[in-house]
Structure 1
């Protein structure tokens, strides 16, 4: 996934699921790969299953928040980022930045239409995604 080969990553995760079962880590990874492919519906479903299975993993909460931001569902995204930030004990700058962006989008709804957004996904080294403003 670090090289942007999300389809290849999905194939690998599917194979791993056959051996290990559908673990929370695999659900999160598959959801994250779908997010990278902009398959937001599939990503959301997998990430919601991941947080149901293991509600204390901040990466799943953060990445679900990113999916919701991409879908312009800012209030729910903000809740996901808050949960991720709390579970991470405030240690992740990426989660904090995503939370700040969600709050800003909620405060200024004028610029919240998807076609006007000037943000891109940036994958962090630990499997989290961060929303970055385009130059």
Structure 2
């Protein structure tokens, strides 16, 4: 079998078709409108992974949120907000023991961080530590000065759960997770 030589017209056509793949993409016009257009980020800047994690939590993408919070560590360090966020994502993923670990670490960093106290109360409730959970909700409520309705409702549920234990009744597991800022997350039991 002899090799065929590609003629100049065919070679030229192949090169012209491949040329756009070699083009510098920085000269392409960015998407500036439509559903896929980026918002709030100038060209060359990156989005804070902590904010991305919060948005993913709101979108109920808890595993992706956990990954975003982990990516926030080099930028923010292991501060109370990052640790609390990692704990909260773990809680939404049903990993109460891991959540408790990270939320306690967040409180080691800042023992006045209200979302960490509240969410620790939820983790402890999920682990069956109802008395300790009630105390975490009490601290969250006191530090918040009773300003957040969700924390108040969590404290009431925790008190009701302690009373239900003494009467051998069912425990209420519908607690509200909170995070810093305006967000809130409902944590409902898996048996619903």
Per the shorter chain, which TM-score range? Answer: 0.7 to 0.9
Distance 1:128 1:84, change over 3 A: farther
- The CA RMSD measured in Å over matched residues stands at 2.3
Q: In 2, distance between residues paired with 1:99 and 1:120?
A: 12
- For 1:53, the equivalent position in structure 2 comes to 109
Judging by fraction of residues, say which structure has more helix.
1
Query: What SS is found at the alignment partner of 1:46?
Result: helix
Question: Is the CA contact 2:151–2:176 (under 8 Å) kept in the aligned structure 1?
Answer: no
TM-score when normalising by structure 2: 0.62
User: What aligned pairs does 1:116-135 form with structure 2 within 5 A after superposition?
Assistant: 117=171, 119-120=173-174, 122-123=176-177, 126-129=182-185
- For 2:120, the equivalent position in structure 1 comes to 64
- For 1:25, the equivalent position in structure 2 comes to 81
- For 1:80, the equivalent position in structure 2 comes to 136
Stretches of structure 2 lacking an aligned partner (at least 5 in a row): 1-56
1:111 is the counterpart of 2:153 = no
Stretches of structure 1 lacking an aligned partner (at least 5 in a row): none
Query: What SS is found at the alignment partner of 1:111?
Result: coil
Query: What SS is found at the alignment partner of 1:108?
Result: helix
Q: In 2, distance between residues paired with 1:120 and 1:23?
A: 28
